[in-house]
Amino acid sequence: MSETVGASANGTYDVVVIGAGPVGQNVAERSRVAGLSVAVVERELVGGECSYWACVPSKALLRPVIAIADARRVDGAREAVTGPIGTDGVFGRRNRYVTDYDDAGQADFVRGIGADLVRGEGRLDGVRRVVVSGSDGERVLTARRAVALCTGSDAVLPDLPGIAEAKPWTNRTATDSSTVPARLAVVGGGGVGVEMATAWRGLGSSVTLLARHPLLPRMEPFAGEMLAEGFRKAGMDVRIGVSVAELTRPDPAGPVGIVLDDGSRLEADEILFATGRSPRTGALGLETVGLTPGSWLEVDETCAVRGAEGHSDGEWLYAVGDINHHALLTHQGKYQARIVGDAIGARAASRPLDTAPWGAHAVTADFHAVPQVFFCDPEAAAVGISAAQAEEAGFRIRTVDVDFNEAQGANLYADGYRGRARMVVDLDRETLLGVTFVGPGVSELLHSATIAVAGEVPVPRLWHAVACFPTISEVWTFLLRAYRDAAGAVSA
């Protein structure tokens, strides 16, 4: 049913936001702070993919699994971990964090910031014009200043023989299922694949992980290698360099037959495809403003869409989050959304962007210092670019690696702690281009690395950021010492 709260009498607003996930909500909030009227359009649940089928439920499932794994790495604690995991408790916890798939609280948030919520399918119908189709018909919204597209992305299923009858899982099924399959095949070694393999193995499934490329291929190579080793120790069957060629499931209630490209066969009770995402832009009416439906949208540093009709009179169309393909991560989309809201506010007031809150840097997106964490076991976290990417970009670099067990805090965190850290240094400016951590609990180290990369903190200055003893973060001391020793060896 179409719902509008405090509706504009003629459907005219300063800003119309299509998509009420975390990204759309942040655009709306920052636009309201700028004093602009806002309508937010949502076709499903207010809160979006992240809140109900991705980040939140996946981490709710993973935390009990990782907590048990951490306890088993500590003498004295492992003896207390007996019996199987309580799946009913885990699924109940997941359901609490997704509010039993009830979006009333997030809908109240949208209303609470003074925006109007319009339920229905939104699409462009020319410059600054949005048509919303709901159960009670269509209505037209007009934007005086801007339209922000915050529609996210969908899971991609490959075109394989038998895939329809196999009824594969996507991230949505993998996060909202409350039945543990005895055997689960996971296809894909990216973020969704490694996290869901970890979760469902911990919940009791026998997991086979099938990946065409090394795990987490956009990270440093050692990250995927360490994950594969850890997964195998946890009892997973990890196969790298293979692809699915065909699926069969003659009985909808029976097992899935899987044929690989090397001719080998296996069976699973369910199969999850985590093989990429596509932009939700096919039904957005992009053709009405000179853009290609179904495409990723190219944006400038303020996330204004390049090539949209009507921009000769000022930027009005923005693509925020997944659909601009810079980083398919909720936190990065929210960051872009804050920038977009402030840029819209500055442009609406005919102010130069450098007069926006915190100056020009606050309304231009940095697509370099992108942090990402995968909450598998072991965890993998990185920010910036890898050594290979830095070399390809022409930087003169030094790569520094250390094992985490050089830090006493890591050894106290887990007996026999295994982890590795790397920093990539730009030798010409002596600042960090990228940092990667792999090991238990490393996700909480990443923000320090993000500050160092985004802030371009000189490496000599990092010497004075003293890590507490005994913490895992002492690894910074050993990274910097290794860099100093390498520099000394070169100068000698």
Q: Are 257 and 248 in contact (CB under 8 A)?
A: yes
Q: How is residue 433 written in tokens?
A: 């281009």
pLDDT tens per residue, range 205-251: 999 999 999 999 999 999 999 999 999 999 999 999 999 999 999 99
Q: How is residue 65 written in tokens?
A: 């699994």
Q: Are 200 and 180 in contact (CB under 8 A)?
A: yes
Longest dimension (CA), the chain: 78
Place 489 in a pLDDT band, splitting at 50, 70 and 90: low
Q: Of 57, 116, 44, 17, which Cα lies nearest the Cα of 321? A: 17
Evaluate if residue 290 carries a pLDDT over 50: yes
pLDDT tens per residue, range 245-287: 999 999 999 999 999 999 999 999 999 999 999 999 999 999 9
pLDDT tens per residue, range 103-138: 999 999 999 999 999 999 999 999 999 999 998 899
Task: Kindly tell me the sign of the dihedral angle through the C-alpha atoms of 186, 189, 190, 195.
Answer: positive
Task: Give all strands of the β-sheet with 206-211 in edge-to-edge order.
Answer: 237-240, 206-211, 183-187, 270-273
Q: Are 401 and 424 in contact (CB under 8 A)?
A: no
Q: Are 344 and 31 in contact (CB under 8 A)?
A: yes
* Bridge-based pairing state of the strands 12-18 and 137-149: parallel
pLDDT tens per residue, range 14-66: 999 999 999 999 999 999 999 999 999 999 999 999 999 999 999 999 999 99
Q: Which numeric CATH code is attached to 155-276? A: 3.50.50.60
Domain with CATH 3.50.50.60 in the chain: 12-47+103-154+279-363, 155-276
For 178, what's the count of Cα atoms within 13 Å in the CB-facing half-sphere?
9
pLDDT tens per residue, range 352-410: 776 655 555 566 788 889 999 999 999 999 999 999 999 999 999 999 999 999 999 99
CA–CA gap between residue 477 and residue 432 (Å, rounded): 15
* Cβ-Cβ contacts under 8 Å for 109 (sequence gap 6 or more): 25
* Cβ-Cβ contacts under 8 Å for 375 (sequence gap 6 or more): 58, 59, 62, 63, 66, 195, 198, 443
Which pLDDT score, from 0 to 100, does residue 363 have? 67
Q: Are 425 and 434 in contact (CB under 8 A)?
A: no
Task: Give the distance from CA 343 to its chain's centroid.
Answer: 24
Which whole-number Å values give the CA distances from 323 to 167, 278, 281, in the listed order? 26, 8, 8
Which pLDDT score, from 0 to 100, does residue 5 have? 43
Which pLDDT score, from 0 to 100, does residue 352 have? 78
Domain with CATH 3.30.390.30 in the chain: 378-491
Mean pLDDT of the chain: 94
More confident residue, 359 or 455: 455
Q: How is residue 397 written in tokens?
A: 């670099």
pLDDT tens per residue, range 165-174: 999 999 999 9
Burial category of 428 from C-beta neighbours within 10 Å (exposed 0-12, middle 13-18, buried 19 and up): exposed
* Cβ-Cβ contacts under 8 Å for 205 (sequence gap 6 or more): 180, 181, 182, 183, 184
Looking at residues 331-348, what average pLDDT do you find?
Answer: 94
Residues above pLDDT 70, as percent of the chain: 95
Domain 378-491: which CATH number of 3.40.50.11540, 3.40.50.2300, 3.30.390.30, 3.40.630.30: 3.30.390.30
Tokens 């990667």 belong to 436
Q: Which numeric CATH code is attached to 12-47+103-154+279-363? A: 3.50.50.60
Tokens 């159960």 belong to 135
Place 487 in a pLDDT band, splitting at 50, 70 and 90: confident
Backbone φ and ψ of 279, nearest 5°: -75, 140
Which whole-number Å values give the CA distances from 245 to 163, 212, 242, 466, in the listed order? 10, 12, 9, 53
Cross-strand partners of 434:
384, 424
Which pLDDT score, from 0 to 100, does residue 465 have? 96
pTM over 0.85: yes
DSSP, residue by residue, 88-108: HHHHHHHHHHTGGG--HHHHH
Cross-strand partners of 148:
17, 318
Q: Of 135, 126, 141, which Cα lies nearest the Cα of 43? A: 135
CA–CA gap between residue 136 and residue 118 (Å, rounded): 12
CA–CA gap between residue 264 and residue 251 (Å, rounded): 21
* Bridge-based pairing state of the strands 431-439 and 420-426: antiparallel
Which pLDDT score, from 0 to 100, does residue 4 have? 47
Task: Give the distance from CA 234 to its chain's centroid.
Answer: 25
Which pLDDT score, from 0 to 100, does residue 351 have? 84
Q: Of 146, 73, 64, 127, which Cα lies nearest the Cα of 404? A: 73
- Collapsed DSSP state (helix, strand, coil) of residue 276: coil
Residue 120 burial (CB count, 10 A): 21
CA–CA gap between residue 264 and residue 245 (Å, rounded): 10
Looking at residues 312-324, what average pLDDT do you find?
Answer: 93
Evaluate if residue 185 carries a pLDDT over 80: yes
Looking at residues 186-200, what average pLDDT do you find?
Answer: 98
